[in-house]
Structure 1
Amino acid sequence: MITRTVPGYAPGVRIRDMALADCAAVAEIRVRGWQRAYAGLIPSAYLDAMDPAQDAERRRTHLMAEGGSVNLVAEAPDAELTGWACYGPCRDEGVRPGSAELYAIYVRPDRVGAGIGRSLLGEVTARSLSAGFDAITLWVLKENVRARRFYERAGFRPDGAEETFEAGGARVPEVRYTHPLTPPAAV
């Protein structure tokens, strides 16, 4: 298991590989993250019906399947999990070969703005580059202004692709962002 403190973002927070024992905490982070971030963007009945226990079971199934995705958690100095990210090879057709995709990134709602998301994204970027990927893509809700600003500050830009998904009977639009990866300059 790789554990690393990512300098410059969230002091004392360590980023490590997710373990099966983390599934319940990650599900809680994901569900509460959805409920806070997507309030007003996704029907409230859909968000209210999200169940951390069911989500934890899905996390366990996905983690045991080991299908090419990498799950990372952010751990505070007191060992409490404060964030989660998942990435792997890009699943979209028409994207240049060699691209990674950030499938998900969530931070406990009471810790948003503390640098945890930047720490997770920094680790995803570093690991993607080390794995030989030359770009990272992600999908973000079109109306999620806060998340879009977060990604844009990190160097991501919309690439023109849009799609929708169904949540609670509503069509929810998403836009795709991409960020080229470049190796560090040789000294």
Structure 2
Amino acid sequence: MNGLTVRDMTVRDIRAVSTIRVTGWKAAYSGLVPTSYLDGLSVEADAEWRTKTFAADPLVQNVVAEDDRDVVGWGVLGPCRDDDAENEAGEIYALYVAPARIGTGAGRTLMDALIARAGEAGFATLTLWVIAGNRRARRFYERAGFRFDGTRADWPVEDTSVPEVRYARTVADPR
């Protein structure tokens, strides 16, 4: 057991979540996303945006993983936003762990909680998008039972097109 608990995110968690998101992006996407874009990310701007938009949609669930001292991970789940989504499709919009906690089971703990919550919310399937070149994340998702479903998209970042791929799984499927 990794000593983590997962709970609903609160407004008090915004700064910690923004820190995890920004440091997570800079660690995970270096070499995959333009450096100038990553350099432009700031915890302050992310926290400001998150404060304005937090809890805006009651169908979106933000959760945090914490140890006895700190928030160490964040995940968010809601209805699938894709045009081809079926009514009972959910989507994991984000799952990030503090870079120092990668490989400790924090991501697995968050993923398990999000899958369980997807089932409780009535979602039959779950999707997520991942940058195609992010091999570490893709292996993590595959271990959680997700598979590339053949759908690709390009995310325009500054003057660059960053390829993304969609992964999907049935909520009730065992890994």
Moved over 3 A (4+): none
Amino acid at match of 2:133: E
Residue equivalent to 1:77 = 68
**Aligned with residue 122 of structure 1, among 101, 105, 112:** 112
1:44 aligns to 2:35 (yes or no): yes
> RMSD of the alignment, in Å?
1.3
1:155-174 equivalence runs, <5 A:
155-174=145-164
Residue equivalent to 1:149 = 139
C-alpha separation between the residues in 2 aligned to 1:44 and 1:66? 32
SS in 1 for 2:111: helix
SS in 1 for 2:156: strand
* TM-score under structure 1 length normalisation: 0.89
**1:17-55 Cα deviation digits (max 9, x unpaired):** 000011111000000000000000001111011011010
C-alpha separation between the residues in 2 aligned to 1:43 and 1:183? 36
SS in 2 for 1:65: coil
CA contact (8 A) 1:129 1:183 kept: no
* TM-score under structure 2 length normalisation: 0.95
**1:66-120 Cα deviation digits (max 9, x unpaired):** 3521100011112x01000011000111123201100001000011111111111
C-alpha separation between the residues in 1 aligned to 2:58 and 2:104? 31
Residue equivalent to 1:133 = 123
C-alpha separation between the residues in 2 aligned to 1:67 and 1:17? 12
Amino acid at match of 2:42: D
Query: After alignment, is 38-47 or 162-171 more displaced?
Result: 162-171
Q: Percent identity?
A: 45
- Aligned pair count reads 174
C-alpha separation between the residues in 1 aligned to 2:158 and 2:26? 13
C-alpha separation between the residues in 1 aligned to 2:93 and 2:130? 10
Residue equivalent to 1:3 = none
Q: Unaligned regions of 5+ residues in structure 2, if any?
A: none
Q: Unaligned regions of 5+ residues in structure 1, if any?
A: 1-7
1:109 aligns to 2:99 (yes or no): yes
